Amino acid sequence: MRAMRMIRIHVVTENTAPQMKRGILAEHGLAFFLEAGEAKVLFDTGASALVFENNVRSMGLPMEEAQAIVLSHGHIDHVGGLEAALRMIPDAPLSFHPDAPRPKFSGLPGKGHRSDSAFFTSGRFREGGRRIVESRTPLEVAPGVWMTGEVPRLMKWEDTGGRFCLDEGCTIPDPLPDDQALFIPGGKGTVVLLGCAHSGIVNTLLHVKTLTDGAPIRFVVGGTHLHAASPERMEKTFAALKEMGIGEIHPCHCTGAFQGVHLCEAIGKASAPATAGTTYVLEG
């Protein structure tokens, strides 16, 4: 795995955009544009074309130069802007877990609702001859940039973070095996981008450490789906992250405001919630 000289992580879409800076819009969704050395990768696409396209323009991002598009999982708040992204990036391969396009639902039994994207589940994204890469295992999507593949669920006290189902009646739980993250190994430690961490943030980061021969994790940004976590789960999460020696964390999206603040307090250093329009710059 190659080390990187400079990493820039642009938060394209997120739930919050303080003071609407630079014309940035907010929505319940998540998208990152990553520049790692010469590699450029789009990780997720937010919930809508409107916000995705607006924020790409407002941030002046060279989206057309992306060498890969990677989807963390198949929920609409991460794939809703995919059609727009494919227009902006006509040639790059699209990578995801094979279960990501399966229909997805959420809610109580008998009161479920769709939580996917018709464009994605219908397979229309396959039109046009684009290279599609479906992988359950770790994959280098651009030079020095990896997706984790399916995340082992070792910490049984972590769950998917919500009532997610495979059927409209919400009687069959969806374990969301398609959930995965993006990571960039480097000489100063590993950088990790999370989608929703439905596998559990601890499970995800432990998997990344396994894939990088135990290298320290210096920086984490993204959703952690802790908004409904019990106090017991939160305490176990804090303890595990401290034991792993996480450098800094920037939670957002599905984390929950209260939970995100306490995650940042637990890790300390430069940790703070991430918002749309933010760019993080790291030396490799």
Which residues share a beta bridge with 34?
9, 41
| Model pLDDT, residue 1 | 47
Residue 85 pLDDT > 80: yes
Structure confidence by residue, pLDDT tens digits, 225-234: 999 999 999 9
Give a yes or no: residue 1 inside a domain.
no
Tell me how many domains the chain contains: 1
Question: Where in the sequence is the domain holding 268, given as residue range(s)?
Answer: 6-283
Give a yes or no: residue 114 inside a domain.
yes
Give a yes or no: residue 214 inside a domain.
yes
Backbone angles phi, psi at 43, to 5 degrees: -115, 105
Question: The domain that contains 185 carries what CATH number?
Answer: 3.60.15.10
The verdict on pTM exceeding 0.75 is yes
What's the CA gap between 250 and 254, in Å, rounded? 12
**Average pLDDT of the chain, as a whole number:** 95
pLDDT category at 32 given cuts 50, 70, 90 is very high
What's the full length of the chain, in residues?
Answer: 284
Give a yes or no: residue 153 inside a domain.
yes
